[in-house]
């Protein structure tokens, strides 16, 4: 279901982006297209929340400090909280590193902030802190049973209405809303993300005394195992030849339209077998293979390996509508775009992979912006 739904959303995003580019000067049409895209983004966000709570959303983990995630969100959080809520960040310098999925952790922080904002309808103060703490068998922590060890403590504290004991006991249950509105998935999603990160979350609250959510994440000494090519891409056009392989007709059509609109020469195929046939008939260079991972008869990873056996200089980008997809049998540094993605993400990733140094196409790129 997630695969099919994400393919539908990708088509919606693709056509919306394409029309926004073409009719950027039409205020009325632009406003409505933005509305369509925002509705699609909400649907994608809800899908991710459901998968995160069900622990079906895989960890795209990295070893990093929490501080850059928080500082990167500050502008957005200020807008979210409004002028009547003071945002204070107290981040420990040289904070220890943890193994997390930065995207999921951003979502967890955002959900906690949204919850806090709803608890402060007339304004207040929100404090986000990070600290390095050690839990010993003797000392423990005031919140519950956290195994001894070294942790990064992330706390989000508000001066809102607080919660009674019954609400506090149920606050992480799915579809339980403390405000009588929304999906009731916000805090249960946070709980699922923290669990996936091998962490622990607790809440301290009382009526009229605000709330403090404390997240303990185990410190790791591991080094990042996957190197990326950090780059900010400003140009997303080109004239290179791309072999686009996607078994869903509507998705293939919109991706073809986007790439051709950026100047690329694009061959289309609906299966791995058709893609190999096109490759063997084409005498010129195929600079990039852009392929879905899950297709009937031949998976995208098998197609890539067979194509690279014949065209070792071809670059490769995968696309996947399955959140649990793994690039088994392939290079660990192959790039995989998670559906649904935007036109900008697609074209900038294509440009980054094509421009990456080295002879082989087995590259990964971290796209900024």
Q: What does the pLDDT profile of the chain (369 residues) look like in tens digits?
A: 556 677 787 888 888 887 888 887 888 888 888 888 777 777 776 666 555 555 555 556 788 999 999 998 898 899 889 999 999 999 998 878 999 988 889 889 998 999 899 999 999 999 999 999 998 877 666 666 788 899 999 999 999 999 998 888 888 876 555 554 444 457 888 888 898 889 999 999 999 999 999 999 999 876 554 444 444 455 688 999 999 999 989 899 999 999 999 999 999 999 999 999 999 999 999 999 999 998 989 999 999 999 999 999 999 999 987 544 445 444 545 788 888 888 888 999 999 999 987 655 454 443 433
Task: Please tell me the predicted confidence (pLDDT) of residue 329.
Answer: 47
- Single out the residue of 314, 325, 326 nearest to residue 353, CA to CA: 314
Q: How far apart are CA 269 and CA 287, in angstroms?
A: 16
Q: How far apart are CA 37 and CA 3, in angstroms?
A: 19
| 223 belongs to a structural domain | no
Q: How far apart are CA 339 and CA 86, in angstroms?
A: 36
pTM of the model: 0.53
79 plus 212 within the same structural domain = yes
Taking the CA atoms of 186, 192, 197 and 200 in sequence, report the sign of the dihedral they define. positive
159 plus 180 within the same structural domain = yes
Cis amide linkage into residue 232, ω under 30° from 0: no
95 plus 29 within the same structural domain = no
Q: How far apart are CA 351 and CA 347, in angstroms?
A: 6
Q: Which residues share a beta bridge with 292?
A: 319
How many angstroms from the chain centroid is the CA of residue 30?
26
49 plus 66 within the same structural domain = no
| 224 belongs to a structural domain | no
198 plus 69 within the same structural domain = yes
Q: Which of 28, 53, 78 is the endpoint of a domain?
A: 53
Other C-beta atoms closer than 10 Å to the C-beta of 147 total 11
337 plus 211 within the same structural domain = no
Could you tell me the residue range of the domain that residue 154 belongs to?
62-218
What is the strand order of the sheet 265-269 is part of? 265-269, 241-245, 288-292, 315-320, 335-338
Task: Please tell me the predicted confidence (pLDDT) of residue 89.
Answer: 96
212 plus 256 within the same structural domain = no
Q: Which of 183, 218, 253 is the endpoint of a domain?
A: 218
354 plus 279 within the same structural domain = yes
Contact yes or no for 364/333 (Cβ under 8 A)? yes
| 76 belongs to a structural domain | yes
| 81 belongs to a structural domain | yes
State how many domains the chain has.
Answer: 3
266 plus 298 within the same structural domain = yes
CATH code, domain carrying 181 = 3.30.565.10
Task: Please tell me the predicted confidence (pLDDT) of residue 228.
Answer: 43
As given in the structure block, the two tokens for residue 232 are 């900010």
67 plus 204 within the same structural domain = yes
């Amino acid at each position: 279901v997630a695969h099919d739904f994400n393919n539908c959303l990708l088509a919606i995003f693709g056509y919306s982006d394409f029309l926004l580019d073409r009719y950027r000067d039409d205020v009325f049409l632009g406003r409505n297209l933005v509305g369509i895209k925002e509705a699609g983004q909400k649907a994608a966000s809800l899908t991710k929340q459901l998968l995160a709570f069900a622990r079906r959303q895989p960890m795209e983990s990295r070893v990093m400090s929490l501080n850059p995630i928080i500082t990167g969100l500050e502008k957005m959080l200020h807008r979210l909280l409004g002028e009547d809520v003071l945002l204070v960040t107290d981040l420990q310098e040289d904070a220890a590193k943890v193994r997390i999925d930065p995207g999921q952790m951003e979502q967890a922080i955002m959900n906690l902030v949204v919850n806090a904002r709803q608890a402060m309808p007339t304004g207040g103060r929100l404090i986000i802190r990070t600290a390095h703490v050690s839990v010993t068998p003797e000392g423990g922590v005031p919140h519950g049973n956290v195994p001894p060890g070294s942790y990064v403590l992330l706390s989000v504290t508000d001066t809102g209405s607080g919660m009674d004991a019954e609400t506090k006991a149920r606050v992480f249950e799915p579809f339980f809303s403390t405000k009588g509105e929304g999906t009731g998935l916000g805090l249960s999603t946070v709980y699922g993300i923290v669990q996936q990160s091998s962490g622990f979350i607790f809440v301290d609250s009382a009526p009229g005394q605000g709330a403090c959510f404390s997240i303990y994440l185990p410190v790791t000494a591991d080094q990042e195992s996957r190197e990326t090519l950090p780059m900010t891409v400003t140009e997303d056009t080109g004239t290179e030849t791309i072999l686009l392989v996607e078994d869903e007709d509507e998705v293939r059509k919109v991706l073809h339209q986007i790439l051709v609109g950026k100047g690329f020469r694009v061959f289309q195929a609906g299966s791995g077998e058709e893609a190999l046939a096109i490759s063997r008939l084409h005498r010129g260079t195929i600079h990039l293979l852009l392929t879905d991972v899950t297709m009937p008869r031949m998976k995208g990873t098998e197609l890539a390996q067979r194509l690279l056996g014949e065209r070792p200089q071809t670059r490769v980008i995968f696309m996947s509508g399955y959140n649990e997809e793994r690039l088994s049998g392939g290079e660990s540094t192959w790039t995989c775009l998670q559906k649904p993605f935007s036109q900008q993400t697609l074209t900038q990733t294509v440009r980054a992979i094509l421009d990456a140094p080295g002879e082989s196409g087995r590259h990964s790129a971290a796209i900024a912006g």
